[in-house]
Amino acid sequence: MALRSMDTLNVAGRRVLLRLDLNVPLKDGRVLDDTRVREAAPTVRTLAERGAVVVACSHLGRAKGRPDPALSLAPVAPILADRAGRPVRFVPDVIGEVAAQAVAEAKPGEVILLENLRFEAGEEKNDPAMCDALAALADVYVNDAFGTAHRAHASTAGVASRFPERAAGPLMVREITALSRVRDHPVRPFVAVVGGAKISGKLETLTSLARRADTVVLVGGMANTFLLAQGVAVGASLVEADLVNAAREILASAATRGVDVVLPSDVVVAPSADAPGRITGLSDIRAEEMILDIGPATRTRIGDTVSGARTVFWNGPAGVFEKPGFAAGTRAIAEALAASDAFTVVGGGETVAAVQQAGAAAKLSHVSTGGGASLEFLAGETLPGVAVLEEGAA
Ligand code: ADP
Ligand code: MG
């Protein structure tokens, strides 16, 4: 299903409610990483240059439905202004009189940034009154916040259906285009690499990938549960004992479909992430040792698998990459993807950080910023914030 793009909207002289992802890390009112602001800025600039009154909004952090000064979007406004090359008027209000007044005063080409949407109790509840109030602020709607598109919140779902004219912003279009190419029509061989701490939260995605991919490579802490399911003594490793059966089912389903599953054949173990690691096979992991990274033979095997692929999706680090002694596996995967000519897509908070740390991001086809949203999309789930922007959606 094609997304409506904002290029098709007539925005000149009209008010555009623009849902952005400005959910940046803050410390003492300072923005620690402005990546999301930098990425959002061109959308703001484009709409302003086309003569819109831009009413930008976003959530930030886990505000609990009431104002929390530590989570104000105020510090983001000057950065957005700088990056978009236009003044941005911050309004310390979401759906009240102050916001309505500011929008009424704004002229075409001007940009307003509303306060943190989650200061309102109605936002996460997709509350109809909140949707009505937000909708009253604008004439058309654009959503460029892929990272929250899997949530049916007021600003992502309910408000959108109140606008006959609504569309996806360029970041949203880019995400959906790249992820659709992986999910719906991957050029084969298609290799999926999945890691990270745990299986829970990724079960549907794993099940889906084990159906769609030619090869599924399992690494990181979540591979431990699969190894356990195969009878490997994994010592003190992180495992999810209650998911051993789920792991067996995924392995069985992959086997019936002829999908190759690659598990670690050697690992780096240590009694703690602060102790030096020891490379070992799977047969002599000591009771007090934890698997904290994949070993060199596994790295080579994954490198070979990736170099033969024409589509690669990767989510989840191969080890505790935050510690230099257990980062080699994750770095090797990042380098293998960077060196590949395949269509390469990487998603997930920690995975994207690891890819940036390895200097590989620019060599990938697409780096997805929506962690949970990209996994749900690949699992085949309907994202409420996306469905409402599709051509023909009610
Ligand atoms: P993402 O944010 O990219 O989706 P996850 O949140 O699923 O990734 O997992 C990232 C975390 O997994 C990292 O903090 C990393 O330390 C941890 N991890 C990876 N391998 C292991 C392991 N073998 N044991 C424990 N934790 C691990
Ligand atoms: Mg994470």
What's the pLDDT tens digit per position in 135-147?
A: 999 999 999 999 9
Using one digit for the tens of pLDDT, what is the confidence trace for 35-90? 999 999 999 999 999 999 999 999 999 999 999 999 999 999 999 999 999 999 99
Instruction: Determine the Cα–Cα distance for residues 57 and 61; give it in Å rounded to an integer.
Output: 14
In whole numbers, what is the pLDDT of the chain averaged over residues?
96
Please say if the pLDDT value at position 394 is more than 90.
Answer: no
Q: Which of 236, 289, 232 is nearest to 264 (CA)?
A: 232
pLDDT category, 370, cuts 50, 70, 90?
confident
Q: Is 363 a catalytic residue?
A: no
Q: Given the residues 36, 118, 301, 331, select the one marked as catalytic.
A: 36
What is the structure's pLDDT at 145? Answer: 98
In ligand 1, which atom is closest to the CA atom of 223? 23
Please say if the pLDDT value at position 123 is more than 90.
Answer: yes
Question: Is residue 366 within 8 Å of residue 178, measured between CB atoms?
Answer: yes
Pairing of strands 290-294, 266-270: antiparallel
Please say if the pLDDT value at position 371 is more than 90.
Answer: no
- How many other C-beta atoms are found inside a 10 Å radius of the C-beta of residue 40? 26
**Domains in the chain with CATH codes:** 6-168 (3.40.50.1260), 176-378 (3.40.50.1260)
- Cα(320) to ligand 2 centroid in Å equals 12
Tokens found for residue 75: 């510090």
Contact 273 CB / ligand 1 (< 6 Å): no
Contact 291 CB / ligand 1 (< 6 Å): yes
Q: Which residues contact 113 (CB under 8 A, 6 or more apart)?
A: 56, 57, 73, 76, 77, 80, 88, 89, 90, 91
Task: Point out the ligand nearest to the CA of residue 350.
Answer: 1
Please say if the pLDDT value at position 1 is more than 80.
Answer: no
- Cα(350) to ligand 2 centroid in Å equals 5
Residue owning the nearest CA to atom 25 of ligand 1: 221
Bridge partners, 26 (sequence order): 31
Using one digit for the tens of pLDDT, what is the confidence trace for 327-369? 999 999 999 999 999 999 999 989 999 999 999 999 999 999 8
Please choose from 272, 291, 350, 356 the residue to mutate so as to test ligand 1's pocket, defined by most ligand atoms within 8 A of CB: 350
Instruction: Determine the Cα–Cα distance for residues 18 and 56; give it in Å rounded to an integer.
Output: 5
What is the structure's pLDDT at 274? Answer: 98
Mean pLDDT of 160-178: 97
∠354-360-366 over CA atoms, to 5°?
95
What is the structure's pLDDT at 391? Answer: 84
What pTM did the predictor assign? 0.94
